[in-house]
Amino acid sequence: MTCHIGTDEEHVRIGNYISVVAGELGYEHNVSGHIQVPLEGMRRLKEAGHDVHLVTNEFGEDRSLPACLDETIPVHLVSDARNRGGILTRDSDQGRGVKLAALRRQVRQLKGICLEHGFDVLHLHGYNRTAHLGGGLRLMGLPCPVVCTVFGGIFPERCGLLTRRLWNRVDALVTATRFVKQEYEAQGLNVSQVRHGLIRDLRSEYEGTPESSRRRVLFWRDPSTENGADLALEAYRALAPRYPDIDFDFAIRPYWDPIDGIDELAVEHDNVHVYRFPYSDGITLPGLVVNSLCVLQPMRQLTINPQLVIAESLAAGVATISSDLGSTGELVQDGVTGRLVPVGDGKALTDALDGLLADPAALEAMGHAASEDMAARWNWEHFINDVMSIYNRVIPGSAA
């Protein structure tokens, strides 16, 4: 098979493995970044004329495929070998370990799907264990090359001698951020960096007219310590009395281990509000974000690199204060489009927000700079060519 980038002469048949794409019923528009990004990439590759397939885990009647999945893309289902715990129903944290019988079945099913549909390449999207799965498939005789996009890394690994063999069998590793690329290269693994754009455009999703005078500070995320909800609460507690004309708002989803004190602070201060998904009374997340002066994302832990909640806030034209963590510095330009503060430092977050609120005109200008910067640096302009160049490199007989 010979692939010619950017022509109609030949097209690649691509299998994409993404774990647990189906989400809870009612959450079809509330989709994790590790699912949004590859699905949008798949849509664009299909639009460019390639034969794109999705492989994901089986799901029951209480779950549904996300709205961002192109309905014309074929979907193939395999067993789920991971112990998910209560993470899928938001009842508890992620489980640990794998189910060996299900893993053997999953590997057999994946190989069968790749052979039946004649994939030129199998592209997996995830983290360490997803890459291990891809390397294992190659070790067990999968004939097509394996590419893995990694959203982050967990090192050092247990059973390093075994996992090194698996990593070495992955034909190509890809990531979107410089931070993750450097993490993997420190482990002796070669990684190509391919930036992507955003999927959700909150400004275009908002059906109203943006408020001429924005007066909201917003935390939007699960109300967990990992997401820094307690730090936002600390900043709100200090600043809500000082800025009575500013709304200090939470937009949160149901979560199995929320921090304490959010509702109590809203009772204590008229300018503190709590909005819970699913929202009511015409409240929408795009409306909340677009009409905000500033977004707080003081995370202690990132779930994906780049963290889309930060990227989407900036792209919506809202200055964003984030922890200086992982790849966040590749999104937020400190002092230009937002602020970066030390991880877990509530006082630094409070001081940064106080400084921004003290100069509303500068804060508005920072928001305008944020949207322009995101459009310039995080877009889909080169995505197809960059990905196809990687496929060409690993598919036998492809044009280099």
12-58 pLDDT, tens digit each: 999 999 999 999 998 898 899 999 999 999 999 999 999 999 999 99
The rounded percent of the chain whose pLDDT value lies above 90 is 84
- Could you check whether the bond before residue 306 is cis, i.e. omega within 30 degrees of 0? yes
Residue 146's identity, in one-letter code, is V
Q: Running DSSP on this structure, what letter comes out for residue 243?
A: -
Give the model's pLDDT for residue 5.
Answer: 39
Rounded Cα–Cα distance for residues 153 and 133 (Å) = 15
Strand order from edge to edge, sheet including 13-18: 75-78, 51-57, 13-18, 121-126, 146-150, 172-175, 191-193
User: How many alpha carbons lie under 13 Å from residue 274 in its C-beta half-sphere?
Assistant: 19
Compute the average pLDDT of residues 107-130.
97
Centroid of chain to Cα 308: 5
Give the model's pLDDT for residue 236.
Answer: 99
Q: In the chain, count H helices and then E strands.
A: 13, 15
Residue 89 has pLDDT above 90, yes or no: no
Residue 381 has pLDDT above 70, yes or no: yes
Q: Answer yes or no: are the C-beta atoms of 304 and 33 closer than 8 Å.
A: yes
Q: Which of 91-100, 140-149, 187-196, 224-233 has the lowest mean pLDDT?
A: 91-100
At 93, the pLDDT band (50, 70, 90 cuts) reads low
Residue range 230-274, pLDDT digits in tens: 999 999 999 999 999 999 999 999 999 999 999 999 999 999 999
- How deeply is 158 buried, as exposed, middle or buried, from its count of CB atoms within 10 A (0-12, 13-18, 19+)? exposed
Centroid of chain to Cα 221: 13
List Cβ neighbours of 229 (8 Å cut-off, separation of 6 or more): 219, 221, 222, 223, 250, 252, 258, 259, 262
Residue 166's identity, in one-letter code, is L
Rounded Cα–Cα distance for residues 198 and 383 (Å) = 12
Backbone phi, then psi, for 159, in 5-degree steps? 55, 50
Q: Give the strand pairing for 121-126 and 146-150.
A: parallel
List Cβ neighbours of 162 (8 Å cut-off, separation of 6 or more): none
Give the model's pLDDT for residue 83.
Answer: 66
Which domains, and CATH codes, for the chain? 13-197+379-394 (3.40.50.2000), 202-377 (3.40.50.2000)
Both tokens assigned to 204: 């275009």
Q: Answer yes or no: are the C-beta atoms of 309 and 220 closer than 8 Å.
A: yes
Q: Answer yes or no: are the C-beta atoms of 271 and 248 closer than 8 Å.
A: yes
Give the model's pLDDT for residue 399.
Answer: 57
How many other CB atoms are found less than 10 A from the CB of residue 26? 10
At 162, the pLDDT band (50, 70, 90 cuts) reads confident
* Predicted model pTM: 0.91
At 6, the pLDDT band (50, 70, 90 cuts) reads very low
At 368, the pLDDT band (50, 70, 90 cuts) reads very high
Give the model's pLDDT for residue 159.
Answer: 81
DSSP string, 283-341: --HHHHHHT-SEEEE--SS-SSSS-HHHHHHHHTT-EEEEES-TTGGGT--BTTTEEEE
Residue 356 has pLDDT above 90, yes or no: yes
Both tokens assigned to 166: 């698996």
At 8, the pLDDT band (50, 70, 90 cuts) reads very low
What is the chain's Cα-based Rg?
Answer: 22
Rounded Cα–Cα distance for residues 271 and 241 (Å) = 9
Q: Answer yes or no: are the C-beta atoms of 72 and 49 closer than 8 Å.
A: no
The rounded percent of the chain whose pLDDT value lies above 70 is 94
Q: Answer yes or no: are the C-beta atoms of 298 and 287 closer than 8 Å.
A: no
Residue 98 has pLDDT above 80, yes or no: no
At 4, the pLDDT band (50, 70, 90 cuts) reads very low
